[in-house]
Structure 1
Amino acid sequence: MKKALYLSIFLFFSLNSLFAQTNRYDIKSGIVEYDIVGAMDNSTMTGTSVLYFKDFGKIELLDERITYKRGNFEDEEERNINKISKDKLYTVDFNDEMIYSQDLQIDKDDPVGNIKNKESFTQMGAKFLGNENILGYKCDIWQLGEYKIWIYNSVPLKQITKSSGNEQMQIAKNANFNIDIKDNKFKLPNFPVKAIDIIISEGED
């Protein structure tokens, strides 16, 4: 189940295609805490995540903790950490105790990676639905297919996605912007780091 069923819709969050050379957000720094709920294939998921970012998103870290429940089966727990540091993406695999790195790339067809402005959404064919306040912040609401996102100065404060009967929602429960954030919030576990390109090349040998 886990990653195969978990519909990661955040910042990020499809964190494999972001703006490496421009500001991610229109806010200098922030900490956003989210609640996550979802339903899929006779199972439910609940969890939390926290986003830390500074330097307008050139450095950011997303830490997610998810619990899956399915009937009388034992609950499954999963933790995911993704970090962006300028032009690199780091993904932590707690099962293998490994960190995978890769260069950031721009994907113009990725709605999550292109949450910069109204022009980006319009070019992708997204529909502007209006505005709504979340935690006192006025958000623009955009919909592309079954994907819906609420953004405040390019920061997602709510997201909903539906796919093949599966549904997931992530909504901010606390948000603080333009604050000082300690460097230890961006620290990764002490696992070995391996480049994705090397793993791919080894698989082709």
Structure 2
Amino acid sequence: MKKFVISVLLLSACSLFAQNNRYDIKSGIVEYDILGVTNSKDHTFSGSSTLYFKDFGNIELFDEIIIQKRGSMVEEERNTYKISKGKIYTADFNDEIIYSQELSVDDENPIANTKNREAFKEMGAKFLGNENVLGYKCDIWELGEYKIWVYNSVMLKQISKSLGIEQIQIAKNANFNIDIKDNKFKLPNFPVKAIDVIIGEGEED
């Protein structure tokens, strides 16, 4: 379950608005580099992620790999989720299971609510201006410890700070309004279990 919670909190590459079109672009593939800066020279992390979406985000897959180094110890973590037909499916590679849950607006995660100017303003975000990322003109917003660069509701860059760690996620490749093969949206062949069923089983125990 810990892995599931971590995966949900890493939905920074998408907007979870319960609307017909979650993005203002029909389809896209965005590849990101991830870099972490910590207060300790012995603790570093880096990684990469890829976002695939079509049908304006009603079908989406996000795959991320983070590598952390603490001294001589190296730890790799993979976070993968898929959005389809109003549900989100999160893959747990440790337990080899996929958790399913109804898709809804995440009030606890402000980055999950990035959609457009009106949404940012309602959350009290500060507009900082515009900047190009990969040649795409982005709006820059600041909300708490987050800075987000957004192009047509798609995040292309993000800087966040938490517990002494600064994480930078920036797109290195982005292609929009293209045909994407269905196999890009496949999850691992793990059994699927609904979160509400797991919660119910926990309450019974």
Helix, strand or coil at the partner of 2:110: coil
CA distance in 1, matches of 2:10, 2:133: 18
Deviations 1:42-84 (A, max 9, x none): 31111100000000000000000111111122x1111110110
CA, structure 1 residues 88+193, in 2 after alignment: closer, same or farther (shift >3 Å)?
same
CA distance in 2, matches of 1:72, 1:108: 38
CA distance in 1, matches of 2:106, 2:7: 21
Equivalent residue, structure 2, for 1:121: 120
For the pair 1:148 / 2:174, whether they are aligned, the reply is: no
Residues 33-182 of structure 1 aligned to structure 2 (within 5 Å): 33-40=31-38, 42=40, 43-73=43-73, 75-108=74-107, 110-182=109-181
Q: Is the 8 A contact 1:140 1:151 kept in 2?
A: yes
Helix, strand or coil at the partner of 1:11: helix
Equivalent residue, structure 2, for 1:22: 20
TM (norm. structure 1) is: 0.91
Deviations 1:128-175 (A, max 9, x none): 000000000000000001111000000000001001211111000000
Q: Is the 8 A contact 2:44 2:68 kept in 1?
A: yes
Runs of at least 5 residues in structure 1 that lack an aligned partner in the other structure: none
Q: 1:69 is aligned with what amino acid?
A: K
Deviation at 1:194, TM superposition (A): 0.3
CA, structure 1 residues 161+120, in 2 after alignment: closer, same or farther (shift >3 Å)?
same
Deviations 1:15-61 (A, max 9, x none): 8xx22332111000000000001134631111100000000000000
> What's the C-alpha RMSD, in Å, of the aligned pairs?
2.1
CA distance in 1, matches of 2:167, 2:184: 26
